[in-house]
Homo-oligomer: A and B are copies of this chain.
Amino acid sequence: MLGSVNEPSNWRDLVVALDDRHLDALASAAAATIESLRGSPDAPRSAVPPTTLRDLVRAVAVCPDDGSDLTTVLAEFATTVWRHGVVPSDVACVAHLHPPTLVPAVATELAIAATNQSMDSWDQAPAATELELHLMGWLADLIGFGPSASGVMTSGGTASNLLGVTLARSAAAAQSGVDVAQSGLPAEAAGWRILTSDQAHFSIQRAAAQLGLGRDAVVAIASSPSGSLDVAALDETIERLTRDGARVIALVATAGTTDLGAIDPLGEVAARARRLGCWFHVDAAVAGAFLLSDTLGGRLTGIEFADSVTIDFHKLWWQPFNASALVVRDASQFDLLRVPSDYLDRGDELEGVVNLVGRSLDTSRRFDAAKVVVTLRTLGRRALAEMLEHLVDLAAHAASAIDNEPTLSLLATPTAMMCVFDAPDASADDLREVQQRLLARGEMVLGRTRIKGRAALKFTFMNPLATAADVERLVRVVVDELGAVRAS
């Protein structure tokens, strides 16, 4: 008989199988897990200092010889781990592109883990392979790509950008008659350049580092005060690099920069890429979701000319980490990645079989597409659009509240869900102190960054449950804390 979660464990009862007996055990465990989350303090994080928290966590014996019942383990986790997390559903958790999640997605994580499909080969994930392909096809349509488009799920925007830049590198090498995956970078690669704005995410530089090109291969193009790429500066740089004998292998545009939410002029960048005959990647990790909204979607015009697009479902689609996608205009580009394998991707399978390992930088990979599709079907497009539009409104509301505060100064008019500001008479240290004190006391998880070299504070509104009144309160708290810092 299956033990309850309160009895000492017998491992035979703890293997997840799909018969009723084992699913009953899983249902009990799932209920107990949710119970262990109750009683969280009503704050964005606990006020325990980092070093105390370290001691608390390190007191947990990771792997004792003998197990304990799950209820005991979860009770310990409640007080040592869950209770000392950051709470993205708290309205004062506004530092990062770090969203609360949605019930259908979180519940589906159970099914993903219980069925444990592995996306690398069809014989580990038959329906899952088809659903991921179906989701990718829908996403390609949303972007405006044609019927040759498809994509693959990845672990995050950084991985999606890496995959996009990897394809750009392969395509550039192929133009020179080189199979870079086989024979490595040719000598001429020392002159290869990737152009992107100075507001692009650092994952573009990291991709260049990974690929052996080095961060120096990424040339930063100046951006406007609102954070979008300056096309005149792009043209000047292209002209200079061409004159110097360098080769531009990719233009990378951003749709939704991390700090300002800016969207580069995609159509204009696309035209330059076409002229250069180089790859055009759009990092739409942040603003890709705008495509769901009738009012916001138009801002991404030109994205349909991209060769590859990064979309992060774990940002403004409120999916739990990890869920990202790299969508390509021409799915045959994935062939540049493919490594046939004797045990996994043999090419002699049943008719209709697709092994997704052929388009991924991963091998084993979880079935994250399931949670995305269950979410999209449960909420529907209109609700998701409404949530997005609400967050854009909140950022605008924060901007006017900041404008009305003489001790604060707005650094850019928000175009997305971020709002960056500083204080006219405050030093960078003062701003740091405000952010650190609020974090230390567990009152607010506030963003801190630099905008064009200038220290700044940042709100990133990811929680659609937040209201205009919440936003006003957050501004008030910052004003008061700044006053306290300056008085101390």
Contact A321 B131 (CB under 8 A): no
State which of B110, B343, B382 has its C-beta within 8 Å of the C-beta of A448.
B343
Interface string of A254-291 (1 = CB under 8 A from B): 00001100000000000000000000000000000000
A299 touches B (CB below 8 Å)? no
Chain B nearest CB from A274 CB (Å) reads 26
Given contacts A26-B34, A27-B31, A321-B118, contact A386 B101 (CB under 8 A): no
- CB proximity of A278 to chain B, nearest CB, Å: 18
A27 nearest in chain B by CB position: B34
Contact B361 A29 (CB under 8 A): no
Return chain B residues, CB-CB under 8 Å to A292. Answer: 63
Inter-chain contacts of A49 with B (CB < 8 A): 350-352
A102 on the interface (CB 8 Å rule)?
yes
Q: Known A73-B374, A157-B363, A322-B364; judge A212-B209 contact (CB<8 A).
A: no
Q: Which of B9, B37, B99, B361 contacts A18 (CB 8 A)?
A: B37
Q: Which of A77-85, A235-243, A407-415, A479-487 contacts B (4 or more CB under 8 A)?
A: A77-85
Q: Once the chains bind, are B184 and A217 in contact (CB under 8 Å)?
A: yes
Which of B15, B128, B439, B463 is the one whose CB lies under 8 Å from A85? B128
The reply on A470 being an interface residue by CB < 8 A is no
Which size bracket describes the interface of A in this complex? 35 or more
- Cβ of A333 within 8 Å of any chain B Cβ, yes or no, is no
Cβ contacts under 8 Å, A50 to chain B = 122, 126, 350-353
Which of A198-206, A220-228, A395-403 makes up part of the contact surface? Answer: A198-206
- Of all chain B residues, which has the CB nearest A84? B127
Question: In whole angstroms, what is the CA distance A256 to B348 when docked?
Answer: 26
Q: Which of A1-38 contact B (CB under 8 A)?
A: 9, 11-20, 22-23, 25-27, 29-34, 36-38
Q: Which of A88-96, A143-151, A245-253, A300-308 binds B?
A: A88-96
Which residues from B are CB-within-8-Å of A13?
103
> Roughly how many angstroms separate A212 CA and B205 CA in the complex, as a whole number?
15
Q: What's the nearest-Cβ distance from chain B to residue A67, in Å? A: 3
Asked if A121 lies at the interface with its beta carbon under 8 angstroms from chain B, I say yes
* Cα separation A362 to B157 with both chains bound (whole Å): 8
Q: Is A113 an interface residue (CB 8 A)?
A: yes
Determine if B377 and A67 form an interchain contact, defined as CB atoms under 8 angstroms apart: yes
Q: Is the CB of B16 within 8 A of A106?
A: yes
The answer, among B38, B76, B95, for a CB contact under 8 Å with A124, is B95
14 example contacts (A-B, Cβ-Cβ < 8 A) are as follows A9-B379, A9-B380, A17-B465, A22-B89, A30-B30, A67-B383, A76-B377, A81-B127, A84-B127, A85-B117, A96-B121, A182-B214, A184-B214, A320-B366
By Cβ-Cβ distance, the 9 closest A-B pairs, closest first, are: A212-B212, A184-B214, A50-B352, A67-B380, A113-B320, A84-B127, A29-B107, A181-B209, A321-B366
